[in-house]
Amino acid sequence: MATYTLRPALETDLPSIKELIYLSEINPMGLDWKRFVIAVNPKREVIGCGQLKPHGKDVLELASLAVHPEYRNQGVARAIIERLLADSPRPLYLMCRSRLEPLYAKFGFRAILHDQMPRYFQRISRLAGWVETVARFGEGDGLSVMKLQ
């Protein structure tokens, strides 16, 4: 089992956060270190991260959740999610690969239909569907938008 601590990110953590985001192949847009909670190992290396990302004044997203491959399946993501959820207002949204829905359902998130999504997520969802259709990328593993009340 991994030994790690959680803490708010510092500006000096941003390069490590970016590296982890790219390694995990998730959306690299909107990485503001001030919104991140990170997990660090005893060597003070960033092994996991997540943020609460605003979209306008009324929409908040659980985003940029990434764990270094060597530390997956050891509770790091769960700890980061729990820390971020503890202080977040509701509703809270997230976007994920469809196959990850069961993970987020454990925290109370539920998949929502297109017409229930805030406008930002509707646009991203449409774009992702178009890209998947054209490129056949992620076939069978589409994008889900989920909501926590």
103 with 81, same domain: the answer is no
Q: What is the mean pLDDT of residues 2-23?
A: 96
Query: How far is residue 83's CA from residue 90's CA, in Å, rounded to a whole number?
Result: 15
pLDDT of residue 91: 97
Query: How far is residue 144's CA from residue 37's CA, in Å, rounded to a whole number?
Result: 23
Confidence band (pLDDT; 50, 70, 90) for 135? very low
53 with 102, same domain: the answer is no
Taking every pair of C-alpha atoms in the chain, what is the biggest distance, in angstroms?
46
96 with 84, same domain: the answer is no
61 with 104, same domain: the answer is no
What pTM value is reported for the model? 0.89
Confidence band (pLDDT; 50, 70, 90) for 142? confident
pLDDT of residue 140: 54
Is the model's pLDDT at 40 over the cut of 70? yes
122 with 138, same domain: the answer is yes
CB atoms within 10 A of CB 33: 19
82 with 105, same domain: the answer is no
Is the model's pLDDT at 134 over the cut of 50? no
21 with 58, same domain: the answer is yes
